[in-house]
């Protein structure tokens, strides 16, 4: 009996040690956040073990979560839902059933997942896009772009761009009863990256007559030049996206070559020939004082030219929209940017908001001081966060008022 109690005690202590992490005081539901963080850590650790054993690529292992979370297209009394293809790219369509006095608004949404995991049919994304369609009485197109490691940059960008370009055709908008003057592109995390890149690329496409009304970027990842920003340093091990895992996702977007990941992890991957790009991400000029928090800006340490020649994607604005020139930025549409205080990607969004405002673009920067990366996805299910509901409501409210 004593041995069993000892084993139980040791097992409980081990679980508590694994689950417990220091949580910022402004998190209102700390134990829920700990459980979420522990679940993500467990998933990534198991995926890494499977990868090291040669059983399955770690990203493919994580994709099993996507499979478990998948929900078939299911219509309800408010929204008709269907899977189809636009320009040979899979999409999930949400068509509101409510009567409309005129043409409807539309949102084209790109899911997150580090360009490697996720899909439109995952329960959290299905809920978000379904709610968006119902509450705005809007047509929503959620895109299933191809993923790494099977497909590398620029395939993900090309897929979402093909969908956007197809949908913006006047004949297609007319088919779905959409007002061509009320179309928004949106996305979270890597999806926010793709949304920002698409909005920029449309500016240069003479074949596209319809202009976007707005873009909504939810805790977006926007640059890979400097992976040691204050937000990367402060939130290195915060839930649910660590610095090292973000570095891994960045490198997987371009290649399986571990030398790029290692160079990115040490922030020595940008060659001296690309030094002219650093002013676009110079946080000492672009962050407000309250986010600098005593950090001291240091000049970049340059890396190998060979890496940039082999994998030029990380210097391409289609992968890193913060590298776009001011001349491009000033032509962008009305913008909503959500950033979270406890997120390695916080400073990407803050700097983009600052640069857009300086270029004359109307920007709503919504900074959530009590949130972490991905918080919007935890609005239903076994672990539901109040902050997730607040962020979803703020995002949809902005769309309702501005689209």
Asked if residue 13 belongs to a domain, the reply is no
What is the count of structural domains for the chain?
1
Nearest in space to 40 (alpha carbons), one of 372, 371, 345, 289? 372
Asked if residue 102 belongs to a domain, the reply is yes
Question: DSSP 3-state assignment of 317?
Answer: coil
Asked if residue 390 belongs to a domain, the reply is yes
Contact 137, 96 (CB under 8 A): yes
Domain of 196 in residue numbering reads as: 28-402
Asked if residue 375 belongs to a domain, the reply is yes
Question: DSSP state, 279?
Answer: G
The alpha-helical segments, DSSP class H, found in 283-331 are 283-286, 289-292, 305-310, 326-329
Is pLDDT above 80 for 21? no
pLDDT of residue 44: 86
Is pLDDT above 90 for 227? yes
Asked if residue 20 belongs to a domain, the reply is no
Band of residue 112 on the pLDDT scale cut at 50, 70, 90: very high
pLDDT per residue as tens digits for the range 275-321 = 999 999 999 999 999 999 889 999 889 999 999 999 999 999 999 99
Is pLDDT above 50 for 16? no
Across all residues in the chain, what is the average pLDDT? Answer: 92
Question: DSSP 3-state assignment of 193?
Answer: helix
Asked if residue 9 belongs to a domain, the reply is no
Percentage of the chain lying above the pLDDT 90 cut? 79
Diameter over CA atoms, the chain: 78
Catalytic residue IDs: 189, 343, 373
Averaged pLDDT, 124-149:
97
Asked if residue 362 belongs to a domain, the reply is yes
Out of 57-61, 144-148, 250-254, pick the least confident: 57-61
Is pLDDT above 90 for 22? no
Tell me how far apart the alpha carbons of residues 384 and 28 are, in angstroms, rounded to a whole number: 12
Asked if residue 73 belongs to a domain, the reply is yes
pTM: predicted TM-score of the whole model, two decimal places: 0.95
pLDDT of residue 17: 42
C-alpha distances out from residue 69 to 5, 45, 88, 123, 229, Å: 36, 19, 24, 6, 33
CATH number at residue 361: 3.40.50.1820
Band of residue 12 on the pLDDT scale cut at 50, 70, 90: very low
């Amino acid at each position: 009996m004593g041995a069993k109690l000892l084993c139980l005690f040791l097992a409980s202590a081990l679980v508590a040690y694994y689950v417990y992490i220091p949580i910022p005081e402004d998190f209102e539901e700390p134990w829920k956040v700990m459980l979420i963080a522990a679940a993500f850590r467990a998933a990534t650790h198991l995926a890494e073990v499977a990868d090291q054993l040669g059983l399955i690529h770690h990203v493919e292992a994580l994709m099993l979560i996507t499979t478990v979370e998948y929900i078939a297209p299911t219509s309800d009394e408010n929204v008709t839902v269907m899977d189809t293809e636009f320009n040979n790219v899979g999409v999930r369509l949400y068509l509101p059933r409510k009567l409309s006095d005129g043409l409807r608004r539309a949102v084209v949404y790109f899911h997150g997942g580090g360009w490697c995991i996720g899909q439109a049919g995952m329960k959290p994304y299905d809920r978000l896009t379904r709610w968006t369609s119902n509450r705005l009485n809007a047509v929503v197109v959620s895109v299933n772009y191809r993923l790494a490691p099977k497909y590398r940059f620029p395939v993900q960008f090309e897929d979402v761009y093909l969908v956007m370009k197809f949908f913006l055709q006047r004949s297609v908008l007319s088919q779905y009863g959409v007002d061509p003057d009320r179309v928004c592109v949106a996305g979270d995390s890597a999806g926010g990256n793709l949304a920002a890149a698409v909005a920029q690329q449309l500016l240069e496409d003479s074949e596209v007559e319809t202009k976007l009304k707005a873009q909504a970027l939810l805790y977006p990842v926007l640059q890979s030049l400097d992976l040691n920003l204050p937000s990367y340093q402060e939130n290195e091990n915060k839930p649910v996206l660590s610095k090292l895992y973000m570095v891994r996702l960045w490198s997987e977007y371009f290649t399986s070559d571990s030398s790029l990941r290692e160079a990115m992890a040490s922030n020595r991957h940008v060659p001296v020939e690309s030094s002219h790009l650093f002013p676009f991400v110079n946080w000492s000029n672009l962050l407000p004082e309250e986010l600098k928090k005593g950090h001291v800006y240091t000049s970049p340490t340059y890396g190998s030219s060979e890496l940039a020649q082999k994998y030029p994607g990380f210097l391409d604005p289609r992968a890193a929209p913060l590298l776009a020139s001011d001349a491009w930025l000033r032509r962008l549409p009305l913008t909503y940017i959500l950033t979270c205080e406890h997120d390695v990607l916080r400073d990407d969004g803050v700097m983009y908001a600052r640069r857009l405002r300086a270029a004359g673009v109307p920007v709503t920067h919504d900074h959530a001081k009590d949130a972490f990366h991905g918080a919007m996805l935890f609005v239903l299910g076994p672990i539901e966060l109040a902050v997730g509901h607040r962020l979803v409501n703020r995002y949809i409210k902005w769309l309702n008022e501005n689209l």
